[in-house]
């Protein structure tokens, strides 16, 4: 799994948990730090597998509960990739923000950035006079491997 230098999102998210009245639990902290190190969305099962390698075992039920809490806090977004499967990733504004390409056949998820798309979203928001707090673009299709 790809990682990146991270800490601000994890620290800010753990602080949000504390301000919202959640106890600082080891499972929450493990999941938050793992999610902070990811460059793209992972499923709950992928998160469970990655956490199984850590010192503290986190149950699947706890992972889903913590993901729900993170979602309620606006710290993670759920990316629907089809066939009832969802992946989760940290909500990042600025440099880490990206969108997704999803293969309808194999489910491969590819992140992409597009400054022209970001400008178009900003112009659309100005046109309808709405302040966009967040957005997600998911493009679906067939990847080259599945086309051949």
Q: Is 70 exposed, middle or buried (0-12, 13-18, 19+ CB in 10 A)?
A: buried
Residue 1 counted as domain residue: no
Residue 107 lies in a domain: yes
What's the total number of domains in the chain?
1
Q: What is the pLDDT of residues 109-129, one digit of tens each?
A: 889 999 999 999 999 999 998
pLDDT of residue 108: 87
Asked if residue 3 is part of any domain, the answer here is no
Q: How confident is the model at residue 7 (pLDDT cuts 50, 70, 90)?
A: low
Q: What CATH code is carried by the domain that includes residue 51?
A: 1.10.10.10
Residue 2 domain-assigned (yes or no): no
| Full residue range of the structural domain in which residue 79 is found | 8-147
Q: Can you give the pTM of this predicted structure?
A: 0.77
């Amino acid at each position: 799994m790809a990682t990146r230098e991270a800490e601000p999102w994890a620290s800010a998210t753990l602080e949000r948990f504390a301000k919202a009245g959640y106890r600082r639990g080891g499972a929450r902290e493990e999941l938050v730090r793992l999610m902070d190190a990811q460059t793209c969305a992972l499923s709950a099962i992928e998160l469970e597998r990655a956490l199984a390698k850590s010192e503290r075992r986190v149950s699947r039920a706890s992972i889903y509960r913590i993901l729900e809490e993170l979602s309620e806090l606006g710290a993670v977004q759920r990316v629907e990739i089809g066939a009832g499967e969802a992946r989760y990733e940290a909500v990042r504004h600025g440099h880490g923000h990206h969108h997704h390409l999803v293969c309808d056949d194999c489910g491969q998820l590819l992140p992409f950035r597009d400054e022209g798309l970001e400008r178009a979203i900003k112009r659309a928001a100005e046109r309808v006079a709405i302040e966009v707090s967040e957005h997600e673009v998911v493009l679906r299709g067939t990847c080259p491997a599945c086309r051949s």
